[in-house]
Amino acid sequence: MLNLTQGTGGSRVADQIIDFARTMRLSWPCRSGLAFLCLLTLLPIPVTGADLFSEDLTSMSLEALMDIEVTSVSKKPQKRSEAAAAIFVISRDDLRRWGVTSMPDALRRVPGLQVARIDANKWAITARGFNSRFANKLLVLIDGRSVYTPLFAGVYWESHDVPLDDVERIEVIRGPGGTLWGANAVNGVINIITRQAGDTQGTLVTAGAGNEERGFGSVRHGGRLDNGVDYRVYAKHSSRDAGHSPAGANDDWELGQVGFRSDWDRGARDAFTLQGDYYEGKAGEQVNIATGPLNNPPASFVDDTELSGGNLLFRWQRKVKENSSFTLQAYVDHVKRDETVLFEDRDIFDIEFQHHFSPAGNHDVVWGAGYRHTRDDTRNNATFSLDPSARNVDLFNAFIQDEISLAQDLRLTLGSKFEHNDFTGVEIQPNVRLSWLLAEQKTLWGAVSHAVRTPARGEHDVTLRLLPPPTQDPGVPLYAVGNEQFESENLTAYELGYRANYGNNWSLDLTAFYNEYDELRTLDPANMPPADILLPFDNRMEGETYGIEVSTEWQLRRGWNLRATYSYLDISLHLVDGSSDSASEGSENSSPQQQATVWSSFELGRGVEFDAALRYVDDISVNGAEIDSYAELDLRLGWRPRTGIEISLTGQNLLNSQHTEFMPDFIATQPTDVERSIHVKGVWEF
């Protein structure tokens, strides 16, 4: 088996790039991250005309909506109506009309996604089951940059406050995406795509406040330089109040972020993008930690998690000839977290090449290769430690996918991803997809895919002291420990979908799926040292899931759209090889069996908009705690008194004064309830 160590040439190059990026970051004179703006203020900024608000999608026909191009399914542009995958697209106008202020809230209306808030700054988000704060089967990308956390797996949503006004669309794929996107794209992929700099010319100012959203605002300016380079710079700040808890809440959240993007074309063949972001903030928490020889009662600590990080991404796209093009992308990403239990300082260097060409009339091929180097540094303490405390990890990958036109209306897609990681070696993730264009705007598709979730660093190297519930307290220290023999989790997925537009008045998107999992993660007692119980990570669980996901839209008349989604999910997990980990088996109840949402977008005239959304989430059980089902109502009233100005009033979670959505796992932070909230927002574009 190939052995990739720090001594390899690729790793040394990656280390040098990361060291250079870190040196530049430490030498910036603006410690708060305003260095991007300090640099860009030296550039000549021409005054341009106002960039008008985007066209309201309620005025677009269903045919136009179905023909929106997406790129996440095949890593090439294609009509959404013809995509052989379960895909849901959130447009920038959706984000505006829904009145959301965060990315997790925007994802609540996607069928097949389970979105739950743990406290005012922590979220549990997954697709098709296995929800957790560290949900490890959902890959999240921002402009092609992975924000999946390689230390524990999952996404720290509180660190990614993407400016929603700059988002072009969010493409959400339910189901495996490993063939193109690699390991960890097991149950789904969320690809957040921001607007090109040329589409954000002029100046945009937003500001808002409410009872839960204490204050938020942003400033963005875009222009064009004399050499034809389009650019934008932005600064954003958000502050959220603590949630509700009878024991008191200490989970308020605050984050500031600055960034830039520049796009330029050199002739008709080459296009370049350079973009970056930097953020700093804090996320409050109250965490209970077992200390001493006994677990209960635990010590309780109130602290602010310090968050900071930055990234820089470069992309070069070249059109070689009419049926051939390639993309080269590279980025560096730095993340730092300092909290009561965990300190992490991580750097990532990633480079990827992709080539799209048509070798014959009925073949359309995409292939590529990439390399990722991750270097982390942690601090060990009595609750959490990694051995070694600092580590370098390398990932090599290649993929190929061919879309074959068997007939004018029948397309077969074959492909596979090949990866080598430092934990389990070589992983192969093939898939086959078939789409049948029954008629114009009607597509029937099916897929069989294999995907893997490779081990996170913690599953190999961690020692984490757990806090058991008092009723299950063994009376001695309890530790989850890493296992070098821990293997990848595997999925074989079967999907069948139908997508259609009926008479340009009603559209339907229906997906059914059946998933088979093996080698799922468990924690079972190993040999017990004196006065301790060790629970090494192991692969002693299997399971099946099945369900349906429905999304439909009615265009009742011009300016009035009604949309609805429904999801049904059934999960069945089974312990094997003598495992007794009932807690892992019980995670089959951590995702709601049924979810439904219906919302209306209505133009009242004279620039007035009214939006209403009603959503239902079934009951769940997390770590033995029962969480009741709930229904909530969101309302938004918006007014555009003239071009470039918008004022809106939004109410969220209006049916209940507060409700519980989820519980923490592994790290015993204090959960809080989601409260009723109202906020006002103003937008000025000129």
The pLDDT assigned to 78 comes to 82
The pLDDT assigned to 73 comes to 77
Answer yes or no: is pLDDT of 50 > 60.
Answer: no
Helix (H/G/I), strand (E/B), else coil: 106 = helix
The pLDDT assigned to 63 comes to 58
Contact 290, 273 (CB under 8 A): no
Helix (H/G/I), strand (E/B), else coil: 158 = helix
Convert 327-383 into a string of H (helix), E (strand) and C (coil).
EEEEEEEEEEEECCCCEEEEEEEEEEEEEEEEEECCEEEEEEEEEEEEEEEECCCCC
Contact 40, 78 (CB under 8 A): no
User: Quick one: which of 311, 206, 151 has its CA closest to 667?
Assistant: 151
Cα 556 from chain centre: 32
**Which pTM was predicted?**
0.91
Answer yes or no: is pLDDT of 31 > 70.
Answer: no
The pLDDT assigned to 486 comes to 96
Q: How far is CA 163 from CA 190, 228, 256, 340, 481, in A?
A: 16, 25, 11, 29, 38
Q: How high is the mean pLDDT of the chain?
A: 90
Helix (H) or strand (E) holding 11: helix 9-27
Q: How far is CA 55 from CA 62, 100, 102, 527, in A?
A: 14, 19, 22, 64
Question: Position of tokens 């250079």?
Answer: 20
Helix (H/G/I), strand (E/B), else coil: 27 = helix
CA distance 238 to 285: 17
The pLDDT assigned to 72 comes to 74
Helix (H) or strand (E) holding 22: helix 9-27
User: Quick one: which of 421, 419, 417 has its CA closest to 392?
Assistant: 421
CA distance 43 to 41: 5
pLDDT tens, position by position, 560-590: 999 999 999 999 999 999 999 999 999 999 9
pLDDT-derived band at 16, boundaries 50, 70, 90: low
pLDDT tens, position by position, 422-442: 999 999 999 999 999 998 889
Radius of gyration (Cα) for the chain, nearest Å? 25
Q: Which residues pair with 70 in a beta bridge?
A: 78
The pLDDT assigned to 433 comes to 97
Between 446 and 469, the higher pLDDT residue: 446
pLDDT-derived band at 5, boundaries 50, 70, 90: very low
pLDDT tens, position by position, 583-633: 999 999 999 999 999 999 999 999 999 999 999 999 999 988 999 999 999
Do strands 363-378 and 390-407 pair parallel, antiparallel, or not at all (unpaired)? antiparallel
Q: Which residue segments constitute the domains of the chain, with CATH numbers given?
A: 9-685 (2.40.170.20)
Q: How far is CA 130 from CA 139, 480, 560, 597, in A?
A: 14, 19, 36, 21
CA distance 649 to 643: 18
Helix (H) or strand (E) holding 66: helix 62-66
Contact 384, 409 (CB under 8 A): no
pLDDT-derived band at 66, boundaries 50, 70, 90: low
CA distance 137 to 124: 12
pLDDT-above-90 percentage for the chain: 78
